[in-house]
Copies of this chain bind each other. A is one copy, B any other.
Amino acid sequence: MTEQHADIEHHLFFLLSDNYRLTSTLLDRRLHAAGMPLSRSQWRVIAQLSRKEGIFQSELAEWLGIERAPLGTLVDKLEAANLVERRPDPKDRRLKRVYTTARAREMLPMIYDQAAQLRSQALSGLSDAQVEGLVESLGLIKHNLQQIRNGDGP
């Protein structure tokens, strides 16, 4: 109750935001430098999509764990960059099916490669066991947080 103020820098929440910002910035820079001007979120969209071609936007949002609205603008940009294509569903005119373009599918492996390089730099000094534990813990926390987000509902 008194000492919790002491270790601001080691607070889980701040560590999370720091690591998020840093990986974000560095990955962006790296991808831009490699001639692939897209963000982690955009990468994620096409990565997810490449395994589920033709799903609806709302399904895609669900898979990504983000809201439909932000995904909409993401898809807008990806479509403008010719990395993704929207096609209306003939049966239900509300729905838009989304597909990766050939350009996106060519880019993907290069993106993974850049990301892997940054990842290994970021993880230098950590043992395999530590990395494994980290990923597991982050997965558990994510799960807990999702429960809270969905359960608290009105």
Closest to A14 in B: B44
Contact-residue bracket for chain A: 35 or more
| A129, chain B: closest CB distance, angstroms | 9
Closest B residue to A146 using CB positions = B22
A82 within 8 A of B: no
Q: Which of A102-154 contact B (CB under 8 A)?
A: 108, 112, 115-116, 118-119, 121-126, 130-131, 133-135, 137-142, 144-146, 148-149
The answer to whether A122 and B134 have CB atoms under 8 Å apart is: no
- A137 and B133 contact, CB distance less than 8 A: yes
Q: Mark A8-44, 1 if CB is under 8 A from B, else 0.
A: 1011111111111111111100000000000011001
